[in-house]
Structure 1
Amino acid sequence: MQTVFEKLRARLQTQQKTWLVTGAAGFIGSNLVEFLLAHNQLVVGVDNFSTGYQKNLDQIAEAVGSQTYKNFRFIAGDISQLETCQRACLAVDIVLHQAALGSVPRSIADPISSNLSNVTGFLNMLTAAKDVGIQRFVYASSSSVYGDSEELPKVEARTGNLLSPYAVMKYTNELYAKVFNKTYGIETIGLRYFNVFGRRQDPDGAYAAVIPKWVGSLLKNETVYINGDGATSRDFCYIDNVVQMNVLAGMTDNSAAFGETFNVAVGGQTTLNELYALINQELNQYVTNFTTKPASYVDFRAGDIRHSNANITKAHTLLGYVPTQTINEGMTLAIEWYIADAQI
């Protein structure tokens, strides 16, 4: 039997809409743009290249072909400027809002810059979408909103005390979205991402996510540092699962989903020690003469949640979400890309 997503993919080929993807040159945004273009959709992209890259857009053009890439219109701009948001929203049917300054440590080091993008920029986008009459607004939230809640798996209705400025910002997004849904009728849907990984994820920079950072370090024969004792656990989610949830949310007819937030994950739990072993195992298969080396343990990182594992029942029930990759399946796909990217 076909899943909801499989049926939707076929429907997209004959039902063309215009989608706005903010953060289009970034990790998640560029994957969304590529999927939509490959499925006969029109796409508007916005990015200020603070964490996104032109090479990601170039890779999309190569992947979908020059003719299909003509269905993509790109705006170089910053969502902290309302005018940019207003221009981007013209003649758009669905917004997939991904643009943000991610990272808990970044928000602790510089809360003002993070807030400008993650709260002011979010409100600008939401207001611009509302003002031109866009009905559907899907946005990226974060598992960080669960804070110090020790309940596992995490259920959307119950959160704990927030542990970082980033978590405060993402929770603020959810509050704004719910109020805009109630007050203006705009169909908002929030997606709480759990440790997304995969192709086009940046391995460099001070705030790089753990998987590409570790892979990059191991490929360069550098020491890998694990924060804490390695027993910290996460629900690692491959990028294709995130693309699926965005498209399901963008196209759903289920009004019970509007104004709600959903966990985007696999429903698994992997410790950092297990993750390190898995990455080494994959690299051993793909890299000639690769040598496994022990990691070095350092202090726990401020603002981090100790354990994270998602209940995805709500996403399955209301949106029809069925993950297509486990962490092991996703890692096999991701490792190939990380290795190829490191050799460019």
Structure 2
Amino acid sequence: MQQIENKTILVTGGAGFIGSNLCEHLLHNNKVVCLDNFATGRTQNIQHLLNNPDFTLIVGDIRNIADCHKAVIGVDYVLHEAALGSVPRSINDPITSNDVNVSGFLNMLVAARDAKVKKFIYAASSSTYGDSEALPKVEDKIGKPLSPYAITKYVNELYADNFHRMYGLNCIGLRYFNVFGRKQDPDGAYAAVIPKFVMQLMAHESPIINGDGNYSRDFTYIDNVIQMNVLAMLTENPEAMNTVYNTAFGDRTTLNDLMASLKKYLAQHDEKIASVEVVYGPNRAGDIPHSLASIEKAKRLLGYNPEFSMQQGLQQAVGWYWKNLK
């Protein structure tokens, strides 16, 4: 993986799953500022970084413009990961999702513009493809959003494009596809599917799959996401700027196949897991049936070359969960 060096990088949501992995990786060669309000971020994700003199934690909220201005002082790049994720959460509480994901995003754009940062790289989402049935998903062909969350992430793309046109702020959006890996939170009502399944299987509890298990996703290991963020910071190619990229592996796995793989890898630690039964429930409102990314644009313009397949990443993730959460 290419490296970026001797920069000062702000990671918003830096105590969250993706943000904390970015902070940890970037600290090897850079100064890192983490902005987080700990609504969903976890102190333990960054505890080991707090004594590093190149790491600065700002406890603050992107909904507070003063916090945003404070966080960007002296910063070269902004990696904007702060958001309220989860389609079901946004359906249950669209107002808070909008406040954080749209108003907070706009605050960060304004702060980055005023501080004249080199580049604003932000977490976009595969949910933006909405009701488009085309596979694989290609960046310039989207459908209508299927949830308030998806709307907020699409609005982010519109704002980023507008801030480049109006103010010359260089922005790159990374449409994340079902990211998983170490430090992903298994707890709470809106936990992502992989850590949730892992914790249930380790406890010999029957996981519940929404639908018949044939919905498919382009599950993307965290290290591939780190690579994309680094490449987005490094690129000087004008054609590669001020656009969005699918951030994925470029392959899809059904939930049934995912469950079979999780059982296989976990059974290597506890053979009883192989016989845990799976329960099937109703489909979830706002869910996209199938998701598969084309990563050709990222390969061509950024030199993206994902290092971890879904299976390779799953083995790494299962090992981490077994060691840290069992």
Do they superpose with TM above 0.5?
yes
Structure 1 residue 289, shift from structure 2 partner: 4.2
Structure 1 residue 266, shift from structure 2 partner: 0.3
8 Å CA contact retained: 1:181, 1:259:
yes
8 Å CA contact retained: 1:25, 1:49:
yes
* Letter of the structure 2 residue corresponding to residue 274 of structure 1: D
In structure 1, which of residues 27, 36, 44 is the aligned counterpart of residue 17 of structure 2? 27
Distance (whole Å) between structure 2 residues aligned to residue 292 and residue 136 of structure 1: 50
In structure 2, which of residues 193, 199, 210 is the aligned counterpart of residue 227 of structure 1? 210
Percent of residue pairs identical: 55
* 2:190 counterpart of 1:207: yes
Please give the TM-score of this superposition, normalised by the length of structure 1.
0.93
Point out where structure 2 has 5 or more consecutive residues left out of the alignment.
none
Distance (whole Å) between structure 2 residues aligned to residue 287 and residue 257 of structure 1: 47
Structure 1 residue 151, shift from structure 2 partner: 0.4
* 2:72 counterpart of 1:89: yes
Where does residue 339 of structure 1 map in the other structure?
A: 322
Would you say how many aligned residue pairs link Structure 1 and Structure 2?
326
Distance (whole Å) between structure 2 residues aligned to residue 24 and residue 284 of structure 1: 33
Distance (whole Å) between structure 1 residues aligned to residue 274 and residue 257 of structure 2: 17
* 2:132 counterpart of 1:143: no
Where does residue 249 of structure 1 map in the other structure?
A: 232
8 Å CA contact retained: 1:30, 1:56:
yes
Where does residue 51 of structure 1 map in the other structure?
A: 40
8 Å CA contact retained: 1:191, 1:261:
yes
Distance (whole Å) between structure 2 residues aligned to residue 127 and residue 292 of structure 1: 53
Structure 1 residue 287, shift from structure 2 partner: 2.7
8 Å CA contact retained: 1:266, 1:310:
yes
* Letter of the structure 2 residue corresponding to residue 311 of structure 1: S
SS at match of 1:125: helix
Distance (whole Å) between structure 1 residues aligned to residue 184 and residue 127 of structure 2: 19
Moved beyond 3 Å, runs of 4+: 288-291
Distance (whole Å) between structure 2 residues aligned to residue 88 and residue 251 of structure 1: 21
Distance (whole Å) between structure 1 residues aligned to residue 285 and residue 130 of structure 2: 12
8 Å CA contact retained: 2:94, 2:148:
yes
* 2:278 counterpart of 1:295: yes
Structure 1 residue 32, shift from structure 2 partner: 0.2
Distance (whole Å) between structure 2 residues aligned to residue 235 and residue 307 of structure 1: 9
Q: Which stretch has the larger CA shift, 253-262 or 26-35?
A: 253-262
8 Å CA contact retained: 2:264, 2:274:
no
Where does residue 269 of structure 1 map in the other structure?
A: 252
For the aligned residue pairs, the C-alpha RMSD in angstroms reads 1.0
* 2:288 counterpart of 1:311: no
Residue deviations 1:235-268 (CA, integer Å, cap 9, x gap)? 0000000000011101211111222000000000
Structure 1 residue 213, shift from structure 2 partner: 0.2
Where does residue 7 of structure 2 map in the other structure?
A: 17
Point out where structure 1 has 5 or more consecutive residues left out of the alignment.
1-5
Distance (whole Å) between structure 2 residues aligned to residue 290 and residue 259 of structure 1: 46
Residue deviations 1:263-304 (CA, integer Å, cap 9, x gap)? 000000100000000100100112354342221111100000
Report 1:165-184 matches (<5 A): 165-184=148-167
Residue deviations 1:82-122 (CA, integer Å, cap 9, x gap)? 00000001000000000000000000000001111100000
8 Å CA contact retained: 1:30, 1:60:
no
Distance (whole Å) between structure 1 residues aligned to residue 187 and residue 280 of structure 2: 20
8 Å CA contact retained: 2:205, 2:276:
no
* 2:223 counterpart of 1:240: yes
Distance (whole Å) between structure 1 residues aligned to residue 273 and residue 284 of structure 2: 29
Where does residue 58 of structure 2 map in the other structure?
A: 75
8 Å CA contact retained: 1:182, 1:259:
no
